[in-house]
Chain A
Amino acid sequence: MSTLPSLAELQGISAELRGQVIKMSHQAGTPHLGSSLSCIDLLTAAYWTALRIDPEKPHDPNRDRFILSKGHAAPALYSVLAKRGFFSPDWLDTFATHGAELAEQPSPNCAPGVELATGSLGHGLPVALGLALAAKIQQRDYRVLVVLSDGECNEGSVWEAALLAPALKLNHLAIMVDFNKWQATGRSEEVTSLTPLRAKWEAFGWHAVEVDGHDLAALTEALREVPHPSGKPLAIIAHTIKGKGVSFMEDDNNWHYRIPKRDEVNKAFAELGLPAPQLAAAKSGSAS
């Protein structure tokens, strides 16, 4: 993109993406809506201001790589990729139905733009280290960006990778932790002693910053620092709100698994300032 979208345009994109993932959850009867909503702004900032990618050339060896390591937020990634033109938005309508391109969590090479099959946590960052190391070996100048969840930071493999990346001087690698303060069944700061999260990444040798994960200007600014001039990989601790954008979902962990009913979808769209959606009949189980 030659010129970056304005802040108002970015906010409009995020609102539209939020509506899309709410609709997908309702129609397909799939969970993890709160987790998708919390990371939308991270993906908007990445895909509309930072990543050097061309939807026409999804396998370009010089493309920037993006990995959504928290694979349960796949609807957010799919919505982004469709809107960026990697595949038809029609694919979103068949999401998680029998034989569809887009499964509840991404399978390998399921769609252009999906770099990794995720779903099991703790895999994205180690693979990203390999992608970033390959850039050095092959003398390419692409960057690698990974979005992790805070709950995912329970996984030991995340910290194995965290220890090695600075030693390999992978400053063209960056992570964004979607720090929404919840994991599946509890407060992430209570389940493990996760905080202080920024200090942890710093102690592991990363350049770490904290931002409001719903401040698109701040996220854009943070992502501008890849490759980081310090020579270190970059950790962006993004403070987010699970279920962000919909008043009755925000910071309510029931929406890790709950599926919105028809009237809830309509209410959410109204709150997001979106026109009322056309909804297909919902799958049984997601009673409307």
Chain B
Amino acid sequence: MRNAFADEITALAKADERIVLLSGDIGNRLFDKFKEACPTRFYNCGVAEANMVGMAAGLAMCGLRPVCYTIAPFLTYRCMEQIRVDLCYHHVPVVLVGTGSGLAYASLGATHHSCEEVGMLRLLPGLNVMAPGDAWEVRGCLSAALADENPTYIRIGKKGEPLVHGSRPEIRLGQALQLSEGREVALLSSGAMLPEVVALGKLLESQGMRPAVYSLPTVKPLDTALLEKVFADFRVIATVEEHSVLGGLGGSIAEWKADRPKMPGRLLRFGTEDVFLHETCEQEEAREHFGLTSQKLAERIAAALR
């Protein structure tokens, strides 16, 4: 995903001279092409994320379109007040791109995990929160964010995630993408879980079910038209994300659903638990730990349908 981000931001910046890329001392060689194409619009702000976000606000106040890029937890947890005051309160169109989000950097320990930041950020007034499902969605999310007047946070993975889409989908803020039609079970995927959710869909099919699969590149604003439909038409609606079950996509939908007690569908939230992960492990093992594999998710869904 990060290579797609670097490629896409370079293409966008060539066409729009308002775009300025700020990096928190990360992405060694990743932005060589950007720097070559737009030498006065790339700045390494050092390991000083709070200042970087404040600077981005200042740039945006002058009509520029800054994009801040660094590792997700440092860009979000550390800069919460700068995001709230400098970006949201002043309502400036800054795009924050957090790389290695969720459990992508599982092996680096919990300092590098970000399984709570969506919950934290979506509380901020006026902030869009996006979680693309593959490299194609990264490109679409970036374009959508840069075309919007609100500030946006985009959480992306690292590199080498499998592609789900065959070509670039049209991504609009607050609109889900439907990957397959179905009945009984609707799978709502957020972020880098998408390939696993597609695999889950196939596994459920092999067990005789026909799940509908959706990718939700936007957590905020929620695609409420989709929610109205799936909670009316499906027995079980399952959210899957590399994020705590508190506050993320599942948490958002739980709040939405609480205001609609007559909607018949049942919500199942799959994500990480309300704990720090202390186990030494890679991303796949971390997902296994939290039951975020197609095999385990299929069992949990089957149990709910019984």
Contacts and interface: CB of A to CB of B under 8 A. Distances in A.
Contact of B58 (A133, A138, A156): A133
A230 to B, nearest CB: 22
A6 B52 CA distance: 41
B78 to A, nearest CB: 10
Given A108-B89, A108-B90, A164-B45, A126 B55 contact: yes
What band does the interface of chain A fall in when counting residues whose beta carbon is under 8 Å from B? Answer: 20 to 34
A131 B58 contact: yes
Contact of B91 (A108, A127, A132, A160): A108
A164 B61 CA distance: 19
A85 interface: no
Contact of B61 (A122, A127, A168): A127
Nearest to A115: B61
A120 B86 CA distance: 10
Contacts of A123: 54, 82, 85-86
Interface in A120-162: 120, 122-123, 125-138, 156-157, 160-161
A116 interface: yes
A130 B55 contact: yes
B85 A120 contact: yes
Contacts of A122: 50
Contacts of A273: none
Contacts of A127: 54-55, 57-58, 61, 86
Interface residues of B, number: 30
Contacts of A137: 20, 40-41, 59, 64
Contacts of B264: none
A117 interface: yes
A242 B43 CA distance: 39
B275 interface: no
B106 to A, nearest CB: 29
Nearest to A128: B58
Query: For the complex, would chain A's binding face be called helix, strand, loop or mixed by DSSP majority?
Result: helix
A157 B61 contact: no
A117 B43 contact: no
Contacts of A129: 51, 54-55, 58
Contacts of B58: 126-134
B181 interface: no
Nearest to B94: A130
B46 interface: yes
A116 B51 CA distance: 16
A240 B48 CA distance: 30
B90 A117 contact: yes
A137 B22 CA distance: 13
Contact of A161 (B51, B59, B60, B91): B51
Nearest to A109: B90
B117 to A, nearest CB: 19
A157 B59 contact: no
A131 B61 contact: yes
Nearest to B20: A137
Given A134-B64, A137-B64, A126 B91 contact: no
A118 to B, nearest CB: 9
Interface in B34-87: 40-41, 43, 45-46, 48, 50-64, 66, 81-82, 85-86
Nearest to B54: A126
A163 interface: yes
B85 A130 contact: no
Most buried by A among B55, B56, B64: B55
Contacts of A116: 90
A66 B291 CA distance: 54
B59 A164 contact: no
Contacts of B61: 115, 127, 130-131, 134
3 tightest Cβ-Cβ pairs between the two chains A and B: A130-B58, A126-B54, A134-B62
Given A108-B91, A126-B54, A126-B58, 11 more contacts: A120-B81, A125-B54, A126-B82, A134-B61, A134-B63, A134-B64, A157-B54, A161-B48, A161-B55, A164-B45, A164-B48
18 contacts: A61-B63, A108-B90, A108-B91, A115-B61, A120-B81, A127-B61, A130-B58, A131-B62, A133-B43, A133-B59, A134-B63, A134-B64, A137-B40, A157-B51, A160-B51, A163-B48, A164-B45, A164-B55
